[in-house]
Amino acid sequence: MGMPIANMKSNVQDFLKPLSIDEAKAHALSHEFYRTFRDLSANSLNQFLPTPISESVLRPTAGREKGRYLAIDIGGTNLRVGFIELLGNEKAVNGDCTDGNGEAPNGESFSNIRRLLEKSWPISDVLKNENADSLFRWIGACIAEVVREGCHEFNLPRDQALPMGVTFSFPMVQETLADATLMAMGKGFAITSRLHLGTHLVNGYEKSKTLDLPPIKVAAILNDSVATLVSFIYQSKEDETHKAAMGLICGTGSNATIPLKRSTLHKEKQPGKVKVLDEDSTDDMKIAVNTEWSINGTAPALRKFDLISRWDTQLDSEGEAPGFQPLEYMTAGRYLGELGRLMLIDYLENHLNIPSDALPPRLLTRFGLTTTFLSHFRPPVAAILLEKLEAEFPESTAKAPFRWTEEIADVLHRIAKAIEVRAAAIIAAAVIGLLACAGDIPLREPLQDKASNHSAKTEKKPKVELIVGYTGGCIVHFQDYLADCQKFLDSIIEAEFGDDAPIRVVMSPCHDGGITGAGVLCGASQAKSKDIDV
């Protein structure tokens, strides 16, 4: 089992080559994503799905909405229900949408959003696997519990319908802001029929509603990545050099939302009505688009640059829906631990000649190596890594004599780091490609030398920061994911524009955007706006 350290290191480098990506490849990939995303927007019917709300509602010039609104966030693993208090242009001293340092997304110390009476429940596998009625009856009971507290706390009128904003972490088709038809759900949910979400939520609540509670009405429905963008814009201080440009989720799954011109979307996807401000111009307005960018339409770009390795193919083929979400398998928290497990087993069996039946059995189980474990599996010293491995996969459970070593621990750390760097590069390239689709970054097509870059320069304008509001445990905690993603963003922009770039793309936290975005859009839908036929 022993091998000289120098040999082992070069051996590991060769082993990890299928995952390698450098700045030049990430730059080229961003151009390929730009072309891919334009095509998906124009031609795909299950990606680039519009939310019927115009950019004028997202970015009202007259000031931010104020008020207190009921909001729910139905995620892949948890349900959250609470009241969202919108403070407009004021700031709350104990605002909630801040990062761990108490910083708001725009760098200020306070937030203009308060979360009140919020409760969270795990969505059990039993509920996921049962029929829609039992799932929505349970959701309705949870909503009723929070509404009852709201009645006591805020003295809500019992005879007026309470408007509610709904964030839903699954693909859906929307004709209007308050109406959504669910597509097949994924993430372990058995629901496959095309259900009307608003109707099911109201019916579920009615089953738990007692006479002392007000009725509810669904005012706004949005996807979780749309909610992140909505919440981020509401909290950001925008001016001519700062734009809250995009919402990004990179947690259990991966997704992004951006406002795109209506004319870029396939006719069949264009919503029947779009909520706009009263004075809005409707000439090719921008509307919020949930990209569902992890679905298989993105695979050709990844394949073109040989980024789908044999381990990715194995992970995909053993999953619930092979071929469905290739970008997610390579970038998101549900899968990165499993990818590391498959790679480690391959290395142990085929490079160290350890038979699989000699390994601790948990390591041989699908998802037996968790993303959380791999996220934090990093030095200071190899001996500590070894202790972590021994605690997670005890040698005593193996059938044959087997020992973890510091060398194996080091290999696993290198595997984790290679997985993370590739994920960070892919997400950065996708962010640049998407911002180019929105017209925020003037990419050169076709890709040329830097020297020929934008030769017809006009007067120098101040550099614009395009700010990407991100959320999700994976990008925050997995090795150096966030820092490496920012590095790739910077290097792609430098490769594209040289030292004189007109823009910089900046990652900025917007956690809990799911529930806060539902509250913000509920408030916006009650403001001076209207649905227009388009």
Domains of the chain: 56-235+512-524 (3.30.420.40)
pLDDT, average across residues 277-294: 79
Q: What percent of the chain has pLDDT over 70?
A: 86
Identify the three-state secondary structure at position 242.
strand
Q: Residue 337 has which token pair? A: 């631990």
Does residue 60 have a cis bond before it (omega within 30 degrees)?
A: no
- pLDDT category at 283 given cuts 50, 70, 90 is low
Contact 95, 512 (CB under 8 A): no
Mean pLDDT over all residues of the chain?
Answer: 87
Does residue 502 have a cis bond before it (omega within 30 degrees)?
A: no
pLDDT number for residue 218: 96
Question: Which strand (E) or helix (H) includes residue 64?
Answer: none
pLDDT tens profile 425-473: 999 999 999 999 999 999 987 776 554 445 445 567 889 999 999 999 9
pLDDT, average across residues 144-171: 94
Least confident of 175-179, 370-374, 443-447: 443-447
Alpha helices in 277-381, H assignment, sequence order: 299-304, 310-317, 326-331, 333-350, 371-375
Cα–Cα distance for residue pair 348/342, rounded to 1 Å:
10
pLDDT, average across residues 134-138: 90
- pLDDT category at 90 given cuts 50, 70, 90 is confident
pLDDT tens profile 318-367: 988 899 999 999 999 999 999 999 999 999 999 999 999 999 999 999 99
Residue type, 88: G
- pLDDT category at 531 given cuts 50, 70, 90 is low
Answer yes or no: is pLDDT of 399 > 80.
Answer: yes
| Residue that wins the pLDDT comparison between 255 and 61 | 255
pLDDT number for residue 461: 80
Contact 412, 377 (CB under 8 A): yes
| Residue that wins the pLDDT comparison between 276 and 38 | 38
- pLDDT category at 105 given cuts 50, 70, 90 is very low
pLDDT number for residue 61: 64
Answer yes or no: is pLDDT of 273 > 90.
Answer: no
- pLDDT category at 8 given cuts 50, 70, 90 is low
